[in-house]
Structure 1
Amino acid sequence: MSCSRRHFLAGSGAVIFTTGVATTSLMSSKKTLAYSMEDGTKRYGMVHDENACIGCTACTEACREVNSVPEGVSRLEIIRSEPRGEFPDVDYRFTRKSCQHCENAPCVMVCPTGAAYKDEKTGIVDVHNEKCVGCGYCLAACPYQVRFFNPVTKSADKCDFCRETNLAQGKQPACVESCPTKALIFGDLNDKDSEINTVLNNNPVYRDKVDLGTKPKLYKIPNKKGEI
């Protein structure tokens, strides 16, 4: 979907940059940032099992290598909790931070050039590098704060489920292939017989910030020892 500058400024949430800090000015609009977007033939999603994750970060390194992500920025992070318990019985909880590939993606809504878009065939939220003008609107609009400027391409960047690399070759995303404990499950949410739907149907899951109406497609199986 394209969005003109006039439509953006008159719409929901003009982002104003002052002294290098992005602030949001809420304005009245018939549309909210999380507006309705059609899903594709496929609807790719991911599950992160916090019980299986050991925080090894093999996923982050595989992502960097396969997608040529420059040093200093990252498409995904594994966040480690504060230590829990008392020595010597101390453990941690690990959770994934990356693009949620929202069905209702605020970043797409605010992009004035159409650089941020949702792929019609897969539901993957992606970026047209050649259309990005570096305005930073999408970075400010993302409630998950997972977008960044790529210092090589000079455009907004984020996880794309390895759409241009592994997926294009018929493989699983690099993070999924590299996980030694099988903590990541990827697949088509529109396929009722897919592995990801089997996992979702047989495990308690949660998603981050669902109250915003973004409909994220990154699901998490909560750590049984922790709290949501």
Structure 2
Amino acid sequence: MDKIRRALLGQIAKLTAGAALVPLSSLASAGINDQPPRREGDPSKRYAMLIDLRACIGCQACTVSCHIENEAPLGSFRTIVSQYEVEHEETGDIATFMLPRLCNHCDNPPCVPVCPVEATFQRQDGIVVVDNDVCVGCAYCVQACPYDARFINEHTQTADKCTFCAHRLDVGLLPACVESCVGGARIIGDLNDPDSQISRMMKEHYEDLMVLKPEMGTSPHVFYLGMEERFMSRPQAKPAIWDVRTQEGEEIGYEFDGH
């Protein structure tokens, strides 16, 4: 790491707490609110993921495999399966609902234009990634993400998130979460290829597909099949059964509330 970046990180470390309070409106006035040109990746492809909730059993194999593959710090996750107990309003019957969550690799990603150093960028194949050699850990992108899909990696002090395992896709492998899904609930592929599995499933189930927070206008490219409408936006939920804590024992509260 060069001396200039080391010095900058030293200042950022002192200002991290305050940075979390900076309103995003101030970034727009700073003139960095336009989507920069996409770079890297194959421009002929547009990767997306379809999650078939009818096949998800909440085993968290995707969470574990992603954690191992990408070496995320303890208590931080690039993907996780949130689990909810849903009570039927009329009968009172209880059912469990699984909701896998990850970066949505939006076509209009709000996390990209707020980055003051363009460390967060979108590849030409639609995958949103972070250049850790450029990121200064200001956390603007963490605030901007409406899907709670980003965090500051305590080891690298830079922004971290799901990348669809772009390093694996680039060499013809599946993302770790897709490869480890025992129910085959996660399907990833190229939407520009009409013969890909995801394209065929999107066409077959078009009327039943949903995305998270469509009202945000981000055009997310993680699609859900078999999701109830009440989960499209942040549901009212209380933690139960288990919670997630840091190494120091501090509760993270990974469910929609607080992460």
Superposition TM-score tier, normalisation by shorter sequence: 0.7 to 0.9
> 8 Å contact 1:58–1:175 — kept in the other structure?
yes
TM-score between the two structures when normalised by the length of structure 1:
0.81
Does the 8 Å CA contact 1:117/1:125 hold for their aligned counterparts?
yes
Structure 1, 17-26 or 144-153: larger mean CA deviation: 17-26
- Aligned residue number for residue 50 of structure 2: 47
| Corresponding residue to 1:104 among 101, 104, 108 | 108
Cα distance 1:115–1:224, how it changes in 2: closer, same or farther (>3 A)?
Answer: closer
Higher normalized contact order (CA 8 Å, seq sep 6+, divided by chain length): 1
> How far apart, in 2, do the equivalents of 1:77 and 1:193 lie?
29
* Deviation readout 1:159-206 (Å, 9 max, x if unpaired): 001112x22431111111111111111000111111001111112101
CA change 1:99–1:34 in 2 (3 A) is farther
SS of 1:59 mapped into structure 2: helix
Aligned equivalents of 1:182, 1:214: Cα separation in 2: 27
Measured after TM superposition, the shift of residue 21 of structure 1 is: 3.6
Number of matched residues?
209
**Which residue of the partner structure matches residue 96 of structure 2?**
92
The CA distance in 2 between the partners of 1:27 and 1:112, in whole Å, is: 9
What is the 5 A alignment of 1:95-174?
95-120=99-124, 122-164=125-167, 166-174=168-176
Q: CA deviation at 1:127?
A: 0.3
Pair 181,33 (structure 1): closer, same or farther in 2 beyond 3 Å: farther
Out of 199, 204, 208, the position equivalent to 2:201 is 199
Matches within 5 A, 1:1-16: none
Cross-structure match for 1:13? none
1:23 aligns with 2:27: no
Q: Give the residue type in structure 1 aligned to 2:59.
A: C
Q: Using structure 2 for the length normalisation, give the TM-score.
A: 0.72
Say whether 1:81 aligns with 2:100: no
| Residue 207 of structure 2 is aligned to residue 217 of structure 1 | no
Instruction: Work out the CA distance in 2 between the residues paired with 1:205 and 1:91.
Output: 21
Q: What is the Cα deviation at residue 61 of structure 1?
A: 0.3
Sequence identity (%): 39
Report the secondary structure of 1:107's partner residue.
coil
C-alpha RMSD of the superposition: 2.8
Give the whole-Å Cα distance in 1 for the aligned partners of 2:33 and 2:119.
Answer: 16
Letter aligned with residue 79 of structure 2: L
Which protein is richer in helix relative to its size?
2
CA deviation after TM superposition for structure 1 residue 96, in Å: 1.6
Q: 1:57 Cα deviation (Å)?
A: 0.5
Partner of 2:179: 177
Tell me how far apart the structure 2 counterparts of residues 183 and 99 of structure 1 sit (CA, whole Å).
17
Q: Is the 8 A contact 1:50 1:222 kept in 2?
A: yes
